[in-house]
Amino acid sequence: MPESHHPTSRPLYRAADLRPLLSPRSIAVVGASARQGSFGERTVHHLAGFTGRLHLVNSRYDRLGERPCHPSLTALPEVPELVVAATPMEAAEAVLEECVTLGVGALVLYAAGFAETARPERVALQARLVARARQGRVRLVGPNCLGLVDYASGAWASFMSVPKPWRPLSGPAIGIVSQSGNLGFALAQATEAGAAVGRILTCGNSADVDVADYVAALAEDPSCSAIALLFEGLSDPRRLLEAAELAWANDKPLVVHKLATGASGAEAALSHTGSLAGSEAAYRAAFARCGAVMAEQYEGLLELTSFLAKAPPPRAAGVAVVSTSGGSAIMAADRAEARGVAMPQPGEAARAVLEARIPEFGSARNPCDVTAQVLTDPDSLRACAGALLADPAYGALIMPNGFAYDTATPRYAMLDALAAEHGKPGCIVWTSQYLEGPGAREAEALPRVALFRSMDRCMAALAAWQARAALRAS
């Protein structure tokens, strides 16, 4: 596929460059505190499960709980790989200078009040921090950021409330990259609903480390199954396109949702993180050339990323629908047509199964309505779903869930097993407005089934999946 080859303002930081930041073996919290609710206290609390070595720094204390507290970074028994500064803006330069002197690998600065204020002296302060950090080879995250989270190692380096996974990670997981800390952590709450999220990476003002660096690092991270990127803008968009090309080269799905697409949003982005928003149309065209997939809505970013993380390459262009509701079947046909998703009719073998198992008042075609008779003949749904997945005309199967109740929950595992058997993805469209109703978490957690809360977003995801595969084959 085409590559940009345009010179960039600086090279990307790659996985090896950001190893002390993303996979630290030791962390020091400067500004550790006993004051309930303070950033320092919250950060230390979140790092209680860190599998590496944790050090606390604050000259006011000798101990905090069961841990010793040291007066400075210099007084620590080792040089930490990552320093998290829960300190005021005025202390930033001093903390950074100590990090440079000691050879610390990375520094996270929570403090706000820098270039995002547009005050000349604060812009100059941020510029000094960046220059000194790069001179001293300290990777700087922030300022004005919420930090980052690695679920696997327990490196929850943030003062923000960290979403608690509903289930332990059992393999590669989604990496969330966000300029906006709050929205990034909000996306990560999908892990409480069953989604496999491995990292939350925020960068605030992106003074040094930015979203492009995070994408590049995750592209090379075998523990990352796909990347969800939420950003406002960059001073040098070419670096992000280079990172997108790296993700493509590693066959790592990259799904992007861009904020600040209008004039008012662009103005807000400048005051929020000091970012230049840029043209949405230009970004969209450039991402398409680099193989990244655009999510039209923030609400669909994690859905689409999760689907692409789970779905194998498509074996066919057609999509089949098996539903217990005629209305949901019609909805699927409407949205497939609108999104350009092919829904061919089943072949002879599949049609014979449908006709044998579906009542005459149902619909033995695609979309397939097996009717409420599945309540008295549960195996009919399995037989019809299996026949459609076995049909070579279909690359994926959609099963709308019209009503959220315990009776329907076993159907999701059944679909997952059939998807594994046939090497094709299953999609559950949750049409119930009981969004976290019975079975939702179970469906989200399945390895070969993707959960959507919109028929339109499901069809858009299938279209994007097919387009991505076609681009890879070109």
Average pLDDT over residues 294-318: 97
Distance in angstroms (rounded) separating the CA atoms of residues 255 and 443: 21
**Lowest-pLDDT range of 16-20, 284-288, 442-446:** 284-288
Return the number of other C-beta atoms located less than 10 Å from residue 337's C-beta. Answer: 12
Q: What are phi and psi of 250, to 5 degrees?
A: -95, 10
Q: Which residues pair with 57 in a beta bridge?
A: 30, 70
Q: What's the rounded mean pLDDT across residues 62-91? A: 97
* 10-19, 107-116, 124-133, 354-363: least confidently modelled range: 354-363
Question: If you average pLDDT over residues 155-168, what whole number do you get?
Answer: 96
pLDDT band at residue 7, thresholds of 50, 70 and 90?
low
pTM of the predicted model, to two decimals? Answer: 0.93
Residue 154 has pLDDT above 50, yes or no: yes
pLDDT at residue 3 is higher than 50 = no
Distance CA 62, CA 68 (A): 6
Q: Nearest CA to 28 among 8, 15, 6, 43? A: 43
Q: Give the burial class of 48: count Cβ atoms within 10 A of its Cβ; 0-12 exposed, 13-18 middle, 19 or more buried.
A: exposed
Instruction: Please work out, in degrees rounded to the nearest 5, the angle formed at the alpha carbon of residue 79 by the alpha carbons of 50 and 151.
Output: 20
What is the average pLDDT score of the chain? 93
CB 351 within 8 A of CB 341: no
Q: What is the pLDDT of residue 2?
A: 39
Dump the DSSP string for 90-149: GGHHHHHHHHHHHT-SEEEE----SGGG--HHHHHHHHHHHHHHHHTT-EEE-SS--EEE
Burial 148-178 (b: 16+ CB within 10 A, else e): bbbbebebbbbbbebbebbeeeeebbbbbbb
Q: State how far Cα 43 lies from the chain centre.
A: 22
DSSP symbol at 380:
H
Compute CA 134 distance to the chain's CA centroid, rounded to the nearest angstrom.
Answer: 28
Main-chain phi, psi angles of 414, to 5 degrees: -60, -45
Torsion of the alpha carbons at 295, 254, 111 and 49, rounded to the nearest 10: 110
pLDDT tens-digit map of 448-468: 999 999 999 999 999 999 999
Q: How confident is the model at residue 268 (pLDDT cuts 50, 70, 90)?
A: low
Q: Is the pLDDT of residue 153 over 50?
A: yes
Residue 375 has pLDDT above 90, yes or no: no
The residues, ordered by sequence, that sit 6+ positions from 6 with a Cβ below 8 Å of its Cβ are: 238
* For the chain, percent of residues with pLDDT exceeding 90: 87
Calpha distance 16→18 (Å, rounded): 5
Residue 51 has a CB neighbour count (10 Å cut-off) of 11
Per-residue model confidence (pLDDT) at position 272 = 46
With bands split at pLDDT 50, 70 and 90, how would you rate the model's confidence at 261?
confident
Residue 369 identity (one-letter amino acid): D
* Number of residues written out for the chain: 474
**207-221, 250-264, 295-309, 409-423: least confidently modelled range:** 250-264
Query: Distance between CA atoms of 51 and 65, rounded to whole angstroms?
Result: 18
Chain segment 329-351, per-residue pLDDT in tens: 999 999 999 999 999 999 999 99
Domains of the chain and CATH, by start: 15-307 (3.40.50.261), 313-473 (3.40.50.261)
CB 34: neighbour CB atoms within 10 A? 15
Q: What three-state secondary structure class fits 361?
A: coil
Q: What is the pLDDT of residue 233?
A: 84
pLDDT digits (tens, 9 = 90+) for 201-228: 999 999 999 999 999 999 999 999 999 9
What is the sign of the dihedral through the CA atoms of 56, 62, 65 and 68? positive
Q: Give 360 or 64, the one with higher predicted confidence.
A: 64
Integer Cα distance of 141 and 21 in angstroms: 9
- The DSSP symbol for 363 reads B
| Cα–Cα distances in angstroms (integers) from residue 305 to residues 175, 254, 256, 334, 470, in the given order | 9, 7, 9, 24, 18
